[in-house]
Structure 1
Amino acid sequence: MKLFNRTPAQVRAAVAPTDRVLTYAEGPDGYVVATDRALYLGETRLPWFRIDRGVWDEEGLTVVTTEGQTYRAPLPEPGRVPEAVRERVTASIVVSQYAPLDARGGVRLVARRTDEDLMVWEFVFDAGMDPEDPGLRALAEQALEETRRSFGV
C-alpha cells in the first residue's frame, strides 16, 4: 500500500486493475483518466491503439477513434490529460507510411501496438477513394506487404 497515493478512490475504481493511472481530470460529466493502457471517458474505455487523434480546445477534449467514432469530454481544468493523450497515442504508432496507389491517390499505412504487444494495421485512404473498391484494396494490400518487408514488421 502506498502511503501518499493521492488518486481519488473513484478514479482508481473506474479503471481496470491492470491499468496504471497516469493522470486524470474531473469534468462536469465525471472523470477523464489517462492510464498506461487506455483513456477512460466516464464509463468508456478507449485503448490507446484505437484512438486516431485527440483535440483539445477551451471547452474540453474531443477524441476520434480509428473507426471514426467521436467522443467529447468537457474539461474546464484539464491538468495533464491533453499532454498524456498526445504522448500515448503517438507512442502507440509503430509505423506510419504513405503509399501512392494510382492516379486517384494513395493510402496511409499505420501500424499500432496493442496492449498485448501485437501490431494492428489500418488503411487510411485519401479523401474521395472508396475503401471498399476491390482494386484499391488489392493495391493497398500490396503496398502493405512492401512496407512490412521494408520495416521488418
Structure 2
Amino acid sequence: MRLIPRLPRRAIMPAEMEQALELDRPGTSRLLAWSVLVGGGAAAATLHDLRVITPRGEKMVRGWETIDHAVWDQDSRMLVIWWVDSRRTTPLEIQDDVGRLPEVVRERVQSTVVLTASVPLTRGKPARVALRRDAHGELLAQSLVPPGVKPDAPEVAQAIDRALAELWAEAGEQGLNAGAPPAI
C-alpha cells in the first residue's frame, strides 16, 4: 500500500518541439499538455497560453482569455478553436493525444471566465458579454455579437454597454474586481 499518493506526471515534450514553441526560455509558464499535429507541427497548453506551430510553420501564442470556445471531435481527432477577436477558426488535427490537450484547453478557457450574460437584440440571436481574467489576474470585458450584427450600431452598442455595466457592478458587489471598470 502506498502511503503517499503519486502526483500526476508532468507533461514532457521533445526538445526540438519545446524550442520551436519557445517553451525552453526562462520565465515561460509551465507546460500542462501538448500534442503533435497531423502533417507536422505541435500544440502546447501552458498555464498562461496556447502555443501552436501549424503544419505550414505558422507560429501562434495566444492567452486563454482570447479563446471564445473550442470544440473537440473524437472521431475526426479535430480540435477547433474560436477566437474572441476573429470570426476565423483554427482547426488543429491531433495526431496522438498523449497529453490530454483538448481537456486542458477546455479547462484553461473556462478558468478565465468570471461572469457572463446574454444580451437580447432586436433581431435574431443575442450578443454575449463576459468578464474574464487574463494571465496577470486583471479583469477584462469582452463582447461578441452574432454574424451580420454591427457592434457599433447605436442600439447594439447601448445594449452591450448596459450589460457590461451590470457585469462590472456585479463583480464589484462580489469583490471580484478592484476599482472602476476599464474602458472597452
TM range (shorter): 0.7 to 0.9
RMSD across aligned positions (CA): 2.3
1:73 corresponds to 2:73: no
Aligned residues: 149
TM value normalised by structure 1: 0.83
Q: Which runs of 5+ in 2 are unaligned?
A: 1-9, 54-58, 178-184
Once residues 31 and 115 of structure 1 are traced to their aligned partners in structure 2, the CA distance between those partners, rounded to angstroms, is: 22
Deviates more, 1:39-48 or 1:92-101: 92-101
**Residue equivalent to 1:89:** 109
Query: Against the structure 1 CA distance between its residues 118 and 56, is the aligned structure 2 distance closer, same or farther, given a 3 Å change threshold?
Result: same
**Maintained 8 Å contact 2:29/2:47:** yes
Structure 2 residue corresponding to 1:107, chosen from 127, 131, 152: 127
**Residue equivalent to 1:21:** 31
Q: How does 1:44-59 map to 2 (within 5 A)?
A: 44-57=60-73, 58-59=76-77
- 1:103-124 CA-to-partner distances (Å, cap 9, x unmatched) read 4364321111111211221112
**Maintained 8 Å contact 1:23/1:35:** yes
Once residues 109 and 41 of structure 1 are traced to their aligned partners in structure 2, the CA distance between those partners, rounded to angstroms, is: 27
- 1:63-105 CA-to-partner distances (Å, cap 9, x unmatched) read 111112321222121230000011001111111112335x436
TM value normalised by structure 2: 0.71
Structure 2 residue corresponding to 1:41, chosen from 52, 55, 59: 52
Higher strand content, 1 or 2: 1
Runs (4+) off by over 4 Å: none
Measured after TM superposition, the shift of residue 5 of structure 1 is: 8.0
1:12 corresponds to 2:35: no
Measured after TM superposition, the shift of residue 46 of structure 1 is: 1.6
- 1:112-152 CA-to-partner distances (Å, cap 9, x unmatched) read 11112112211123555321202320232122112211232
Q: Secondary structure at the match of 1:71?
A: strand
Measured after TM superposition, the shift of residue 60 of structure 1 is: 2.3
Measured after TM superposition, the shift of residue 20 of structure 1 is: 0.8
- 1:18-76 CA-to-partner distances (Å, cap 9, x unmatched) read 22100111123212111111111112112111011112222422111111232122212
